[in-house]
């Protein structure tokens, strides 16, 4: 079911990377999963790997990361050419309780949904379907 999707996890914490990979591979049986450590690496990945053979991209983006945080990523993402944003869905996956951060995420035109950590497989399945 998820063979038509590529997943990109933009997350700096190894435990959260592990959980995301586990949920995606074991629960969703996704095969095309990439993980990067910050927003800058996420942009590099998009610029070198996307679009990919008619697949849709599900991007799981953390907010608080070193080098380039999620908000800086979204600002830079806005400047990418339209083809780089084709068939891409962004979910922010964060543990923040900061209402301003959550509101900022919810108001971003590229973010489909704010999700709380840890990644919940049932919630993600419903959002993708």
Q: Please give the CATH superfamily to which domain 7-128 belongs.
A: Response regulator (3.40.50.2300)
Q: What is the tens place of the pLDDT at every residue in 8-47?
A: 999 999 999 999 999 999 989 999 999 999 999 999 999 9
30-62-36-69 Cα dihedral, nearest 10 degrees: 160
Strands 56-61 and 5-10 come out as parallel
Question: Would the pTM count as exceeding 0.85?
Answer: yes
**Which parts of the chain fold into alpha helices (H)?**
14-22, 39-49, 70-78, 99-106, 121-128
Q: What is the tens place of the pLDDT at every residue in 81-129?
A: 988 888 999 999 999 999 999 999 999 999 999 999 999 999 999 999 8
Instruction: For residue 62, give both structure tokens.
Output: 């953390």
Instruction: For residue 118, give both structure tokens.
Output: 């840890």
Residue 41 CA from chain centroid, whole number: 12
């Amino acid at each position: 079911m998820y063979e038509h999707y590529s997943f990109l996890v933009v997350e700096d914490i190894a435990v959260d990377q592990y959980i995301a990979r586990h949920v995606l591979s074991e629960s969703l049986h996704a095969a095309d999963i990439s993980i990067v450590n910050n927003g800058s690496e996420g942009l590099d990945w998009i610029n070198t790997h996307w679009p990919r053979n008619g697949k849709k991209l599900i991007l799981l983006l953390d907010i608080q990361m070193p080098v380039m945080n999620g908000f800086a990523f979204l600002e830079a993402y806005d400047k990418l050419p339209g083809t780089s944003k084709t068939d891409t869905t962004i979910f922010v996956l964060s543990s923040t309780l900061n209402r301003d951060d959550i509101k900022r995420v919810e108001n971003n035109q590229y973010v489909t949904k704010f999700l709380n950590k840890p990644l919940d497989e049932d919630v993600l399945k419903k959002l993708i379907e």
